[in-house]
Amino acid sequence: MALPGWLSTLPKSARLFYPIALRGVREGLSANSILKVYTAARPGLRRQVGLDIIRRVKGVEKAASVFKHLKLTAHPNVGRIPVALTGTLRDFSYRVSYEAFTDEGERTKSFVTVSTNDLMSRQEAEDVALGYLEEMPKSYGVESVASVQLEDIRKSPSLG
């Protein structure tokens, strides 16, 4: 499978590092912490390449997180939506977080990704995510949903 965009130009060790960098940035870890953990398990990644990946991921995360403060009925400006770092099957990808209670009664927080070719408002994206959770609660391990919140939006690299 061919990798999309800039990820395909990186060496294999850097491509393997990308999901780790993405998770580390989302969890708020420092670049040094992310690199130390990765290089301890898999040596061979140049520090500068790792830092470049982390900077790029942080930039996209910062630009995308602005949309969680969007008014419920407002549609985002397509020109301001950051381009996803990896290819997507649809034009837009909405990451919606939810808090819910599991079958065991524990409170959990996780994410649902809503992908579509149509630009949606924040309310529409949250409603679609809530629909997934209500239609297939066992697939998500959810008994009841406490809240949903749009976290970020990305557009396909093909939309540039």
pLDDT at 3: 44
Question: Could you give the count of Cα atoms lying within 13 Å of 128 in the half-sphere of its Cβ?
Answer: 17
pTM of model > 0.85: no
For the ranges 4-13, 37-46, 48-57, 61-70, the lowest mean pLDDT is seen at 4-13
pLDDT in tens, 15-58: 888 888 888 888 888 888 888 888 887 877 888 888 888 888 88
Q: Which of 155, 136, 133, 128 is nearest to 146 (CA)?
A: 133
Question: To the nearest whole number, what is the mean pLDDT of the chain?
Answer: 83
pLDDT at 1: 35
* Residue 60, H or E segment: helix 47-65
Q: If you average pLDDT over each of 50-54, 62-66, 123-127, which comes out highest?
A: 123-127
pLDDT in tens, 75-107: 888 888 888 877 778 899 998 989 888 878 888
> CA–CA distance from 116 to each of 46, 49, 71, 82 (Å)?
36, 32, 20, 16
